[in-house]
């Protein structure tokens, strides 16, 4: 059912727009995997999906599905399924007949199409809902039906355009669990568009960061958080520490002093980035801090849910850290910061 998706050098500019919607965008999604395309509004995410689906034509570049260039293939013949933020179900049809729609269009008998539709409703955990009308469903149930309808067409590639963004947090979590179960059952190749980095991390194998039509970073979920390829990628993933300096002799030298960096880090000017949750905050002078610890003074503390956001001034530099509320810090406290070498990354732009 799944196939490799290869996007090669895609360009797209809309008339009257001063900037391209996509610029030299290349990405490979391996068969049976899920890549989340993450970026702010207007970054080109939905345009990318529409080009894959055949609803927009690129100005340049190629889309290959299972090794075949689909440039001249009509949208309905590409083997691509799509689920949108709104379910777009047919209100005049029952739930079962919505899911059976693609089979009926292809000429399958009503009975056979309904039998297959029932199997896909079971897959999305809506057994017994087949006779209901769309208006009788909750938002989460509608999206489950939309996913079942898309899967019933047996697409080689499944495109998800922010399908869970209108749901409340509990329902979104349920839908992430459902998506994981579907992937375990039928292993579709998935491109998930989202602006929510937590959703991207929860639901995908890899993350592609997109802004102004340009691919900033692509890699595993862990890479996106802890090995961003540039400063903007680190910012999009919620990183808050950006310390300019220079790498020499295995350390990054800056207002923080010398901070050890991974051995593969090249020498020269660079910006040290480290996730705020990876910065350890220790009491000053209690003997627990290693010799490489950095001394500072707490400048602000903000409790945010189950974590405290702490800003520490270390000379001319500010370092953001997180700690559990049980680790009580107050403005003016002297602390020691530890930056684990495995959590440090240096970017040049």
Give DSSP secondary structure letters for 259-324. Answer: EE--TTPPSEEEEEE--GGG-EEEETTSS-S-TT-EEEEEEEEEEETTEEEEEEEETTEEEEEEE-
Determine the pLDDT at residue 137. 92
Q: Which domains does the chain have, with CATH numbers?
A: 5-233 (3.40.50.300), 241-347 (2.40.50.140)
pLDDT over 70, % of the chain: 98
Q: pLDDT tens for residues 255-290?
A: 999 999 999 999 999 999 999 999 999 987 666 678
**Average pLDDT of the chain to the nearest whole number:** 93
Q: pLDDT tens for residues 44-56?
A: 999 999 999 999 9
Q: pLDDT tens for residues 54-112?
A: 999 999 999 999 999 999 899 989 999 999 888 889 999 999 999 999 999 889 999 99
SS3 349: coil
Determine the pLDDT at residue 98. 95
pLDDT over 90, % of the chain: 82
Contacts for 147 with CB less than 8 Å, ≥ 6 apart? 83, 124, 163, 178, 179, 182
Ordered alpha helix ranges (H), 109-264: 110-123, 139-152, 169-186, 197-203, 221-226, 231-236
| Structure token pair of residue 30 | 């391996």
Q: pLDDT tens for residues 109-151?
A: 999 999 999 999 999 999 999 999 999 999 899 999 999 999 9
Determine the pLDDT at residue 325. 75
Determine the pLDDT at residue 287. 60
Q: Which of 84, 85, 91, 86 is nearest to 135 (CA)?
A: 91
Are the C-beta atoms of 58 and 10 separated by less than 8 Å?
yes
How far apart, in whole angstroms, are the C-alpha atoms of residue 154 and residue 131? 23
Whole-prediction pTM value? Answer: 0.91
Are the C-beta atoms of 249 and 280 separated by less than 8 Å?
no
Are the C-beta atoms of 62 and 46 separated by less than 8 Å?
no
């Amino acid at each position: 059912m799944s196939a490799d998706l290869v996007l090669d050098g895609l360009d797209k500019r809309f008339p009257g727009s001063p900037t391209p919607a996509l610029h030299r965008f290349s990405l490979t999604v391996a068969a049976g995997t899920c890549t989340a395309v993450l970026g702010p509004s207007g970054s080109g995410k939905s345009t990318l999906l529409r080009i894959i689906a055949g609803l927009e034509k690129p100005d340049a570049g190629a889309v290959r599905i299972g090794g075949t260039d689909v440039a001249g293939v009509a949208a309905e013949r590409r083997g691509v399924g799509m689920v949108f933020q709104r379910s777009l179900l047919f209100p005049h049809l029952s739930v079962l007949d919505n899911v059976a729609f693609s089979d009926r269009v292809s000429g399958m008998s009503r009975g056979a199409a309904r039998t297959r539709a029932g199997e896909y409703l079971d897959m999305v955990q809506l057994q017994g809902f087949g006779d209901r009308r769309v208006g009788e469903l909750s938002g989460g149930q509608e999206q489950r039906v939309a996913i079942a309808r898309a899967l019933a067409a047996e697409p080689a590639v499944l495109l998800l355009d922010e399908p869970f963004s209108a749901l409340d947090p509990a329902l979104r979590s349920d839908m992430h669990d459902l998506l994981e179960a579907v992937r375990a059952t039928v292993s579709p190749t998935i491109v998930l568009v989202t602006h929510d980095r937590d959703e991207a991390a929860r639901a995908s194998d890899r993350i592609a960061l997109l802004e102004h039509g340009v691919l900033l970073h692509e890699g595993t979920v862990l890479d996106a958080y802890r090995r961003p390829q540039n400063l903007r990628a680190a910012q999009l993933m919620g990183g808050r520490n950006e310390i300019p300096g220079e790498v020499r002799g295995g350390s990054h030298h800056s207002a923080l002093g010398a901070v050890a960096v991974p051995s593969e880090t090249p020498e020269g000017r660079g910006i040290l980035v480290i996730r705020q949750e990876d910065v350890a905050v220790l009491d000053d002078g209690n003997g627990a801090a290693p010799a490489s610890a950095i001394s500072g003074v707490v400048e602000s503390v903000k409790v945010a849910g189950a974590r405290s956001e702490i800003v520490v001034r270390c000379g001319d530099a500010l370092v953001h850290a997180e700690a559990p509320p049980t680790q009580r810090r107050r403005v003016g406290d002297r602390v020691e910061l530890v930056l684990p070498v495995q959590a440090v990354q240096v970017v040049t732009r």
